A = this chain, B = another copy of it.
Amino acid sequence: MRKVCVVITARASYSRVKTVLAHLANRDDVELQIVTTASALVERAGRVSDVIRAEGFTISAEVSSLVEGDTSLQMVQTTGLGLIEIGSVLQRLNPDVVVTIADRYETITTAIAASYMRIPLAHIQGGEITGNIDEKVRHAITKLADLHLVCTAASKSNVIAMGENPQSVFLAECPSIDIAKSVINRRPIDFSPFNKYGGVGKEIELTGKYLVVMQHPVTSETSLARTHVENILKVVSRLSIPTMWFWPNVDAGADATSKEIRRFREISDSTNIHFFKNMSPEDFLVLINNCSVLIGNSSVGIRESSFLGVPVVNIGTRQLGRECAENVVHSGYEQAEIESSILQQVKHGRYSSSSLYGSGNSGKLISEILATANLTTDKKLNFQ
């Protein structure tokens, strides 16, 4: 029975592979191993490791590795701390293939450990193009990986163009679309996020128009993170449309973002914003699916929202370069541009569904490939 070890380093990564995990867990020819590490183990980021357990999966190992601090130095240390322990975890679990997801800085830990230990490495979401350090991490992991499970046709051709063997590259859709598909008919909202998740701020009205904001610090612009958030807070406050605001990732810059949100809450008398930390991926997407505009720089705006047809205002450089469907309007960080983009999208309303990132079949496709693909750790630059 093939042992498939999936390493999850953050809340968002879990959402992305949830359907893959479910399909793997259901297969008779696979033993699923889940390892959680980095911000997946941290209270401030909602300890997604506990969420995974609560949703019925078994965690094979937790690797505590997040070094606290708000600079890139701690990103380097976190990567190192994870490496020190993950090797012996892999030695103990002895998987046939290790799966790493996307391009967060700490995921290179998994890629290095598996490749140095000669365990075949599968990489989900390679070949995409964005700004930021993620761009470097993503392609470096492609060069360490043996199996590439990409989301779009363009990503597939990018990975092959970089010298990977075409037979190791599979167009397998994006698993985040699977969850989007499961909620697309849940309109209007069928639960109370306030009762279920608490959060802070007055309860807001969700039956009419409302906005959702999710703005992560952009690692390359740490010092600006605070201003970016302040600008969005001011615009959203001024518009007086009910708003659900989600706390950012635990990353370099996150402290600044959080501090600005706290400062704003103390000095402002806005009553139209409610702040949440975490939700289940499904509930989160139901909120998105029913909102008027999703604002910020989350990849959810690019991926899930394209399938849902939700209007998006994508702010700043974080997603720059990523393939977009027509639902996305790009904006800079200036208040005026953010405001006019939001109003433009409110006016436009819902878009038709795009299958750019998949049709909701990815969990099945990826689990099938992981269970049956030919596994090897030998490869060389391959240019046809």
Contacts and interface: CB of A to CB of B under 8 A. Distances in A.
B67 A66 contact: yes
A25 B273 CA distance: 50
A87 interface: yes
Contacts of A162: 162-163, 381
Contact of A73 (B64, B67, B72, B75): B64
Given A64-B67, A64-B69, A80-B109, 17 more contacts: A42-B68, A43-B259, A64-B77, A67-B81, A73-B117, A77-B83, A79-B80, A79-B112, A83-B83, A85-B88, A111-B140, A118-B133, A129-B380, A136-B143, A137-B144, A140-B141, A220-B377
A75 B41 contact: no
A76 B81 CA distance: 11
A323 interface: no
A327 interface: no
A339 interface: no
Nearest to A106: B116
Of A64, A85, A109, most B-chain CB atoms within 10 Å:
A64
Contact of A69 (B66, B75, B139, B383): B66
A84 B87 contact: no
A72 B139 contact: no
Contacts of A75: 116
12 contacts: A64-B69, A67-B67, A73-B117, A76-B116, A77-B81, A131-B378, A135-B381, A136-B143, A139-B381, A158-B163, A158-B383, A161-B163
A379 interface: yes
A41 to B, nearest CB: 6
Given A43-B69, A43-B70, A113 B380 contact: no
Contacts of A161: 161, 163, 383
A144 to B, nearest CB: 5
A200 interface: yes
Contact of A76 (B83, B200, B380): B83
A309 interface: no
Q: Taking the full assembly, how many copies of this chain does it contain?
A: 4
Contacts of A266: 198, 200
B144 A116 contact: no
Interface in A136-161: 136-137, 139-144, 158, 161
Interface residues of A, number: 74
A380 B127 CA distance: 11
Contacts of A67: 64-68, 81
A113 B81 contact: no
Which 3 interchain pairs have the tightest Cβ spacing?
A: A80-B83, A76-B87, A139-B143
A105 interface: yes
Contacts of A92: 61
A84 B131 CA distance: 26
A94 interface: no
B72 A44 contact: no
Contacts of A133: 115-116, 118
A265 to B, nearest CB: 9
Contact of A84 (B43, B80, B115, B130): B80
A96 interface: no
A230 interface: no
Nearest to A132: B378
B143 A112 contact: no
Nearest to A139: B143
